[in-house]
Structure 1
Amino acid sequence: MDDQIRIPCVMMRGGTSKGPFFLRSDLPSDPQQRDQLLIEIMGSGHPLQIDGIGGGNTLSSKVAIVGPATREGADVDYLFAQVNVLERLVDTGPNCGNMLSAVGAFAIEQGLVAAENGETRVKVHNVNTGKIIEARIQTPGGELRYQGDAQIDGVPGTAAPVYLAFLEAIGAKTGMMLPSGTPHEIIDGIPVSLIDGATPVVIARAEAFGLTGSESAVELDANRDFMTKLEEIRIEAGRRMGLGGVRGSVLPKPVLIGAPKNGGSLAVRYFTPHTCHSSLATTGAVSVAIAATLPDSIVGTALSDLRYPADLTFEHPTGRMDVRVELDEAAGGGPIVFVTRTCRRLFEGAALVHRKN
């Protein structure tokens, strides 16, 4: 008897992240059994994830689980799982907008959504947050296309664009844009804004730490005094945001902003949370863009001349990310944020796991 079980999966790059995509029906319905399976598949508990298909990095130790929609108004469900590299842990608390950018293409190829001529709009229910995001996928002639001319920093070459419209981007975890009730407060002597957008973030100006906001990810990670201070602020921010004790959680995510150096709107450094992101998480960019609509927030103060609709460019460690912010008058003037990403199908087959006796 074969001592391994084959679980169908597709390895996909979504934005600046990558990982296996599974159909929900191919995984155990029990969350604990599912998570133990994902830990084995990814090889967590080893820095290289040598006995699994994880990439030994938070950006390549991600999993997407997709299935038919369970919420009205959506086409598909998407559950994101961040699988810890060093510890045998799975966190389904956060969302990942980069992996999200490949969900529409995966759903079309798996037959969950029918492709339309020209562009196919897939309304994705993010199970982690309960929110709906619309992915606009290029399907000329009713055929899915990965090749194209769109380029995003952090990914070599070009590909077909994927447009993500965050239709319900406010209050991903707490249901409120300002879970602490104010756009500006002080933690450990540092002015911060606690924003719950597409993901909960604690935003501070880099200069408050004696930094510029244009430092490299390696340089910031090596600054242990700064990283220790940032973690202390993050833990207190989590308490004030109603997230409880967050020492063992990846939420909220710390964000530094600074003056741009290359013609952008802001320099942005996003933390995952214990290392600096090599580029910028899509959900982080959306949350910063939402903060920009609040004049008294850290971001709103830095971008005081903003007029809507607004096109913003965030400078990150490996380039830039462009976002567009519109105010939806039909929904009381709330912000809608659009982000351009790309994706690619990398490998299809089956993950092999040990058969339990």
Structure 2
Amino acid sequence: MQTAIPCTMMRGGTSRGPYFLATDLPADWATQEQVLLAAMGSPNAQQIDGIGGGTSLTSKAAIVSRSSHPAADVDYLFAQVGIDRLHVDIGPSCGNILAGVGPFAIDAGLVTPTGDETLVRVRNVNTDKLIEVCVRTPGGQVEYEGDTRIDGVEGSAAPVLLNFLDVAGSKTGKLLPTGNVWDLIDGVPVTCIDAAVPMVIIDAASLGKTGSESKAELDGDRELLARIEKIRLAAAWKMGLGDARGKVIPKVALVSAPRHGGTLTSRYFVPDNCHASHAVTGAICVSASALLPGSVSAPLATPVAANGQVRLEHPSGQIDIVLDSALSAKGIEIHRAGVVRTARRLFRGELYVPGSIWNGHHSRAS
């Protein structure tokens, strides 16, 4: 016997995955984790027995529910599902998958459209942070088609505006978790910063790279990946994140001077391979580092536009972040960060998992 679970498959930004209502999943996390692994087809490099795509960008899931938070309409739990191992990481968030949460919540009846545009207030459960998501809803329906293009995705779609509120200290409680603008780790100057996601920022030249390498070139350099991981693990302790082995945060970015008219070039790691484009939360964090005086990014970045727009160059093109920030005695204060993404509903129906994993009965939450 198999258990049928209502599911909507969506592309959110440059990522893809199933979106679930929390009420359609097991109440206890242990069983929920097993359901997600079975749904995606893990552990298997091709995820052949599930709907995962065999990459970190296509082995993600969103779990959405009504929120009890007074400033939010819905809660969003992001899950990074392991591909070749039995583990689901709910430590970080994902801004790309977030792009589909507003449309999904409206389609699912959790939020009522309010006109040509509907504001969906989202609480990210992973970080306990709030995001305002603006979705086009002409005629009371989510509009998916449009002329907005984002690098890393073919074609165009309707824009989804994400405004991240209070991004500093998403997991550590501090913009600069080590108390320093830069630290020396394994002989390499790095900036440990937490804005939307904890990150370790490294000048690519410090590791013998130009910073303009392709994803394939970086992924093929096993010595480089081992060095990055060594630095990342050491930085995690300094940032108060503990043992990061087997975990995806902190993330890492190699930065360099822009080459195509942008503000900064970034190669974002997830964390054991280079992102094909760039994570949204990672783009916010890298952008914040570009504005931070004394950081490893600051000398490499071109002057930021008066409106706070930072354009990051990545392997698939560019991503624009608009930061509402101000200089302060501690460096910078970031009030909000905005980015435009797109989303598309791919299919809606029932996803099946073995009844031996979950029989469909809801146990009490642990």
TM-score with structure 1 setting the length: 0.96
**Secondary structure, counterpart of 2:91 in structure 1:** coil
Whether 1:109 aligns to 2:146 is no
SS of residue paired to 1:60: coil
Contact 1:308 1:325 in 2 (8 A): no
Q: Which residue of 2 aligns with 1:257?
A: 255
Tell me the amino acid that sits aligned with residue 294 of structure 1: L
Distance 1:112 1:37 in 2: 23
Deviation, 1:317, is 0.5
Query: How much has 1:309 moved relative to structure 2?
Result: 2.6
Q: The residue matched to 1:256 in structure 2 has which SS?
A: strand
Residues 1:52 and 1:217: Cα distance change in structure 2 (over 3 Å): same
Once the two structures are superposed, the pairs formed by residues 173-188 of structure 1 within 5 Å of their partners are 173-188=171-186
SS of alignment partner, residue 320 of structure 1: strand
Please report how far the alpha carbon of residue 333 of structure 1 lies from its aligned counterpart in structure 2 after TM superposition. 4.9
Q: Could you tell me how far 1:157 is from its partner in structure 2?
A: 0.2
For 1:189 and 1:308, the matched residues in 2 are separated by 36
Is the CA contact 1:152–1:342 (under 8 Å) kept in the aligned structure 2?
yes
The answer to whether residue 194 in structure 2 is matched with residue 196 in structure 1 is yes
Q: 1:203 to 1:328 in 2, by over 3 A?
A: closer
Runs of 4+ in 1 over 4 A off after TM superposition: none
User: 2:57 is paired with a residue of what secondary structure?
Assistant: helix
Alpha-carbon distance between aligned partners in 1 of 2:96 and 2:324, rounded to the nearest angstrom = 21
The residue aligned with 1:267 is 265
Q: 2:90 corresponds to which residue? A: 92
Partner of 2:353: 353
Structure 1 position 292, deviation (Å): 2.5
In the alignment, is the contact (CA less than 8 A) between 1:293 and 1:335 conserved in 2?
no
Corresponding letter in the other structure for 1:340: V
Q: State the distance in 2 between where 1:151 and 1:307 align.
A: 21
Verify the 8 A CA contact 1:328 1:336 in the aligned structure 2. Answer: no
Does residue 338 of the first structure (1) align with residue 335 of the second (2)? no
Deviations 1:47-76 (A, max 9, x none): 111111111111000000000013220110
Deviations 1:216-272 (A, max 9, x none): 001001111111110000000101000101011111001011111211111110000
Match of 1:159 among 157, 160, 165: 157
How many correspondences in the alignment?
Answer: 353
Letter in 2 for 1:335: H
Q: Which residue in the other structure is 2:320 paired with?
A: 322
Aligned AA (2:20): F
Secondary structure of 2:297's aligned partner: helix
Q: Distance in 2 between matches of 1:243 and 1:193?
A: 15
Answer whether contact 2:198 2:249 (CA < 8 A) is retained: yes
Paired with 1:179 and 1:37, the residues of 2 have a C-alpha distance of 35
Q: Is the 8 A contact 1:42 1:53 kept in 2?
A: yes
Alignment RMSD (CA, Å): 1.5
What residue in structure 2 maps to residue 229 of structure 1? 227
Q: What whole-Å deviation, never above 9, does each CA across 1:299-327 have from its counterpart, x for those lacking one?
A: 23333743643211111111111111122
Runs (5+) with no aligned partner, structure 1: none
Q: Distance in 2 between matches of 1:13 and 1:83?
A: 16
C-alpha distance in 1 between matches for 2:301 and 2:258: 11
CA–CA separation in structure 1 for the residues paired with 2:263 and 2:305: 13
Distance 1:328 1:262, change over 3 A: closer
Query: Match for 1:242 among 232, 236, 240?
Result: 240
- Whether 1:38 and 2:40 are equivalent positions in the alignment is no
Q: Where does residue 148 of structure 1 map in the other structure? A: 146
1:116 touches 1:141 (CA, 8 Å); kept in 2?
no
Letter paired with 2:239: M
Q: Distance in 2 between matches of 1:190 and 1:258?
A: 15
Partner of 2:166: 168
In the alignment, is the contact (CA less than 8 A) between 1:95 and 1:129 conserved in 2? yes
Q: What is residue 296 of structure 1 aligned with on the other side?
A: 294
Scaled by the length of structure 2, what TM-score is found? 0.94
Residues in 2 aligned to 1:261 and 1:304: alpha-carbon distance in whole angstroms: 11
Give the letter for the 1:261 counterpart.
R
Conservation of the 8 A alpha-carbon contact between 1:184 and 1:194? yes
Counterparts of 1:316 and 1:213, CA distance in 2: 10
Q: Secondary structure at the match of 1:238?
A: helix
CA distance in 2, matches of 1:348, 1:328: 43
Please say if residues 133 and 167 of structure 1, whose CA atoms lie closer than 8 Å, have aligned partners that are also in contact. Answer: yes
Does 2:234 align with 1:205?
Answer: no
The code of the aligned residue for 2:334 comes to G
* Identity of matched residues, %: 49
What corresponds to 1:214 in structure 2?
Answer: 212
2:73 to 62, 72, 75: 75
Aligned to 2:340, what secondary structure does the other structure show?
strand
Compare relative contact order (CA 8 Å, sep 6+) and give the higher one, 1 or 2.
2
